[in-house]
Amino acid sequence: MEVLQSVLSLIITLGILVTIHEYGHYWVARRCGVKVLRFSVGFGKPIFSWYDKNGTEFAVASIPLGGYVKMLDEREGEVPPEELHLAFNRQAVSKRIAIVAAGPIANFLFAIFAYWLMFILGFTVVAPVIGSVDDDSLAANAGILPKQEIVAIDGNVTNSWQSVNMNLLNRLGDTGEVALTLKDLGDDTPSTAKININEWLAGQDMPNPIEAIGVHPFRPLIPPVIGSVSEGGSAAAAGILPGDRIVAVNGKTVDGWMGFVEVVRASANATLMVELVRDDTIVDVSLTPQKKVVAEGQEIGFIGAGVQQPKWPDDMIREVHYGPVDAFGAAVGKTWDDTVMTLSSIKKMIEGLISVKNLSGPITIARIANTTIQSGLETFLSFLALLSVSLGVLNLLPIPVLDGGHLLYYFVELVRGKPLSENTQLMGLKIGITLVVMLMFVAFYNDLLRL
């Protein structure tokens, strides 16, 4: 079921972003007087299609991993003499530049819209308050203490652990100082701590920058209370119900939810005598955790039950909400920050400071898309915006076969007064296809490893 949900999430996500990107090309092409033959979302054989009054075929194809806009062009087939003025290749170089650039620009505009809508709707975040600091860590050496809130990193406001993580990710591979602005709970007086880094986390696979500096987010004490029970699981078979509070296992008092989890994980196929409280009554049940094999063949026990979510302190819950005008400014700023981070990551990857194992393909995108859709509209909008920015940036890279490669050819033509030779363009196209196929292979291979 989860696989099907992930596939559907991937189709929805890529369908939205590809449609936006290709519509940018289509919209500008039509206004530049170019005849559009086909607007396709997906590759391969069309599942269904229709024609508009201008003769453009709109199609949804069977392979949902991209799309294209096919325009009238003498390089791709014979063009009737009466339609030569409608051919893409007959347009002025300035119009061709506008048409090609319109796709990535549409992605950036969509990201701004998605962030704007997210800020308008508003969302709730948990303040990035530090729960503990590892001894002799980067954070400890900088004088950072538990119960301090991280309010900014390098001058960028951080209102959640997600924004802390994104700002720290932006410093991967860097050498120098990371400036953290902190404040104690209940005290608005800020202080600054500087963390010294040297090619920080360079080359590491899937780095966790928050843990790397030695801090752990504050979490409220999680009592051992059952929040949900899955059908067919060991907990359901034992008669455990939502709302039950675990008191002891095999006669030993349980210390919080994580203490109970540790016992269960270490007891695959072993019978546990569980004492619990239900409606102020002590109930004893016999529980046998099922065996589950995880990474590297490790066997753990699981019972098919979830915890009742604890209540966060009111002073740690923040509502983020903007008016229409302020939301637009925040959306533009967030889109710009995402663009800079994406370009910086590409540069560091080329320099070897960020491992290519961090590249993600369709499997990872599908899994994240599924998670964000289940998490709520604002989370999905944020994911769509970030992915749209990445798509826009990648398409503008000066690699032949991508939009950026075509733009490179047209700018050279603008300077030279004539286009590059067909042989030069063909050679560039072959190089571009090779690079793109290699990147796709690496991304897909990384996806399989993560599985």
Q: What pLDDT, in 10s, does the model give residues 95-152? A: 999 999 999 999 999 999 999 999 999 988 889 999 999 999 999 999 999 999 999 9
Q: Are β-strands 215-217 and 252-253 bridged in parallel, bridged antiparallel, or unpaired? A: unpaired
Q: From CA 77, how far away is CA 426, in angstroms rounded? A: 17
Does the pLDDT at position 349 exceed 80?
yes
* Both tokens assigned to 426: 């063909």
C-alpha to C-alpha distance for 309 and 306, rounded to whole angstroms = 9
pTM tops 0.85: no
Give pLDDT, residue 399: 92
Using an 8 Å Cβ cutoff, are 154 and 200 in contact?
A: no
Active-site annotation holder among 2, 22, 275, 378: 22
Instruction: Looking at mean pLDDT, say which of 111-120, 222-231, 417-426 comes out highest.
Output: 111-120
Domain-wise residue ranges, the chain = 112-122+325-451, 125-220+311-320, 226-310
The Cα 300–Cα 277 span in angstroms is 26
Average of per-residue pLDDT across 263-288:
92
Query: What is the rounded distance in angstroms from the CA atom of residue 326 to the CA atom of residue 410?
Result: 38
Mean pLDDT of 209-218: 93
Q: The tokens of 86 are what? A: 């409608």
For residues 150 and 158, is the Cβ–Cβ distance under 8 A? yes
Rounded to the nearest 10 degrees, what angle do helices 377-395 and 93-121 cross at? 160
CATH 2.30.42.10 at 125-220+311-320, yes or no:
yes
> What was the pLDDT predicted at 95?
96
Domain spanning 226-310: CATH 3.40.50.720: no
Name the percent of the chain in helix, strand, coil, to the closest 5. 50, 25, 30
**Residue 22 is a catalytic residue:** yes
Structure token pair of residue 405? 């490669």
In this predicted model, which residue has the larger pLDDT, 385 or 77? 385
**Whether residue 16 has pLDDT greater than 90:** yes
